[in-house]
Each structure stands twice: as C-alpha cells, then as structure tokens.
C-alpha cells in the first residue's frame, strides 16, 4: 500500500481532523465533487436527474460507528423516512447502509439487527432494495451473519464483498448459497497483509476471479435473489468499480455466456467516471450511481482521496 494511501486512511480515523475539515469552506467545496450536497433533498434531486438519463441510484446517508442506541434509532428512522420518499416520488433508487451507523457496536448489536430487518421490510414495501455496505475486516463475520438473517426473511437485500480480503472467495460461496445479491468492490480500508492483499495487482486479479464467478453464477440462472422485489428494486449482481479494464472484462464474459445486459449492474460513485456511466447506460447496460449525503463526510471523503491520492491536489486547488 502506498504511503499516501496509508496516511490518508489513518487520517480518516481522526475526530480532530474531521472537525477541522468540516469547519473549512475550502474542504466543503472540495467534497462537492463527490456529493451533490449535504442534505437529503439534493441527493433526491440528483437521483431524479439520473433517472431521466436512464441511470438508477443508490442513496446512502454518511456516518459510521455510532455509540448510542438513540443515534442508531435516529439513523433507522431517517432511512425509513427516505424509503417512504422514494416510494412517493417513484424513484428508481435503492438504499445502502453501514451496520456500524445502525449500531452494530452498540450493546452487542441486537438493536442493529432489528433496525436492518425494519429497513428491509420498508424497502420491500417501497419497491426498493436494501444494500449492506462492508466495513473493516473486523466486522465481516457479524455483517454476513446479519445479512443471512435478513435474507432469510426478505428477498430484497444484498451485501457488499471486498475483493482485497483473502477470505472473500469463501464468503462469496456462502452468500451465493443463500441466493443473496452481491455488490463486489475492491475494498477501501486499511487492512493488515495477513487479512488483505497489500498489492493492488493482487486485489485486481482477485476481483476478476470473483467477478467471473458471479457472472457464471448468473449465466446458470442464479444471483437474481431480489428480482421478485419488482422492476424498480430488482437485485442482480452489482460490480462496484470505476476500473474500466475490469468493466470490459465483465462485459465480455457476460456476453460470451449469453447473460443479458440487464442481468447484472455496474455501480459507480457520484462524481467519478460520469462519462463512462452515461456511455454504459446508453449502451443498454444497467448502471447505478451511489449518492452519498450528510454532514459526517470526513472519513468517507478521506477514503475517496486514498483511492486516488492525486485527488489531494483538487483539495489544495480549492484551498488557494
């Protein structure tokens, strides 16, 4: 892992830096590159604009590692209200949550499980779909357990898996056995080498192998666990990447196996590769843009900088 990436990921855990950044207008300006605004209204308006261009969205309220039951309950209530708005506005939008934002660290995580179950039920009612993000490796077991419990009761829920983790091939087997939808990403956190590949090339190679397994599974008719949720919320495997070489490889494999273009999706982050998002959508591919909003953007923003340390220049430009 590069030194810049390591430093940025370490910085992402500093409450002091978070406070400093939040107070600075230049930082708030720089962050706008990756989010349409801090408020939910901006996110919903952006989702509506994407919908006009045939691009779906996934909305997420920024925040993680809450430490009290009241905070976790407030996050649940926020997402319940959001799902009601998606239904009201008939937006082709899904929702993605972090379990530590819903209280995974609070009192053994019991209430977190109830919150996720409530959100999955509301997502089904709204014709939407609930994604569960994957956070640091120490949370993977509990995230997958909670996913399995939710999936047993609700079809419209999927989970993110990270290609950089050495354990992920086995986790993929487990999730596919549950007929669960997977969003495959490379992985955004700082992890020790025993747990995650330290070299980017190894993560990229692991991504290809895992993506091929997902495409092959789709070709055999699997991976459509949540499709019963309806056209707006249907779940198919999602490839969360901006790596256009990987996108091309996935497309080629799917085409060679006769997997229809709408039987899998490409998910990208707001503000990254916008041209490619449109090109893919215009070419008949299913594309979703993940839109983040909220004021707790600091750790998330540091991870975006760490993914491409050249982005730091963008921040400095806003400073001057």
- State the catalytic residues: 133, 183
CA 4 to chain CA mean position, Å: 23
Is residue 137 near ligand FDA by the rule CB under 6 A? Answer: no
Site string for ligand FDA, 72-111 (x = CB under 6 A): ----------------------------------------
Residue among 94 and 254 whose Cβ is closer to ligand FDA: 94
Which is it for the CA torsion 171, 248, 128, 44, positive or negative?
positive
Site string for ligand FDA, 280-309 (x = CB under 6 A): ----------x-------------x--xx-
Query: In this chain, which of 137, 162, 190, 292 binds ligand FDA, going by CB under 6 A?
Result: 162
Give the Å distances, CA to CA, from 86 to 73, 123, 159, 269, 290.
20, 9, 20, 19, 15
Residue among 61 and 241 whose Cβ is closer to ligand FDA: 241
- Shortest distance in whole angstroms from residue 258 CB to ligand FDA: 26
Map the footprint of ligand FDA across residues 234-263, applying CB under 6 A: 240-243
Q: What is the DSSP string of 280-306?
A: HHHTT-EEEEEEEESS--HHHHHHHHH
Is residue 225 near ligand FDA by the rule CB under 6 A? Answer: no
Structural contact between residues 95 and 59, judged by C-beta atoms closer than 8 angstroms: yes
Distance, CA of 254 to CA of 214 (rounded, Å): 10
Site string for ligand FDA, 167-206 (x = CB under 6 A): ------------------xxxxx-----------------
Structural contact between residues 225 and 120, judged by C-beta atoms closer than 8 angstroms: no
- Shortest distance in whole angstroms from residue 186 CB to ligand FDA: 4
Is residue 265 near ligand FDA by the rule CB under 6 A? Answer: no
Distance, CA of 171 to CA of 169 (rounded, Å): 5
């Amino acid at each position: 892992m590069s030194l810049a990436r390591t430093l940025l990921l370490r910085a992402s855990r500093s409450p002091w830096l978070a406070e400093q950044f939040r107070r600075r207008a230049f930082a708030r300006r720089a962050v706008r590159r990756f989010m349409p605004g801090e408020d939910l209204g901006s996110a919903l308006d952006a989702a509506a604009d994407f919908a006009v261009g045939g691009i779906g969205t996934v909305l997420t309220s920024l925040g993680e590692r809450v430490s009290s039951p009241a905070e976790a309950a407030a996050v649940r209530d926020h997402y319940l209200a959001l799902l009601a708005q998606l239904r009201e506005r008939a937006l082709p939008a899904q929702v993605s949550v972090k379990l530590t934002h819903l209280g995974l660290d609070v009192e053994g995580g019991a209430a977190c499980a109830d919150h996720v179950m409530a959100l999955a039920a509301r997502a089904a009612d709204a014709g939407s779909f609930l994604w569960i993000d994957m956070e640091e490796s120490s949370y993977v077991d509990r995230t997958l357990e909670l996913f399995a419990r939710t999936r047993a009761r609700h079809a419209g829920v999927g989970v993110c898996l990270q290609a950089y983790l050495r354990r992920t091939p086995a986790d993929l087997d487990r999730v596919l056995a549950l007929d669960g939808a997977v969003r495959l990403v490379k992985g955004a956190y700082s992890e020790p080498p025993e747990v995650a590949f330290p070299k980017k090339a190894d993560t990229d190679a692991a991504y290809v192998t895992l993506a091929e397994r997902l495409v092959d599974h789709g070709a055999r008719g699997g991976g459509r666990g949540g499709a019963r949720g309806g056209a707006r919320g249907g779940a198919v495997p999602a490839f969360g990447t901006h790596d256009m070489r990987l996108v091309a490889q996935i497309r080629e494999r799917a085409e060679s196996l006769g997997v229809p273009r709408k039987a899998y999706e490409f998910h990208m982050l707001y503000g990254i590769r916008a041209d490619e998002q449109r090109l893919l959508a215009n070419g008949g591919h299913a594309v979703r843009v993940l839109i983040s909003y909220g004021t707790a953007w600091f750790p998330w923003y540091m991870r975006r900088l760490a993914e491409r340390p050249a982005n730091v220049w963008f921040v400095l430009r806003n400073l001057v």
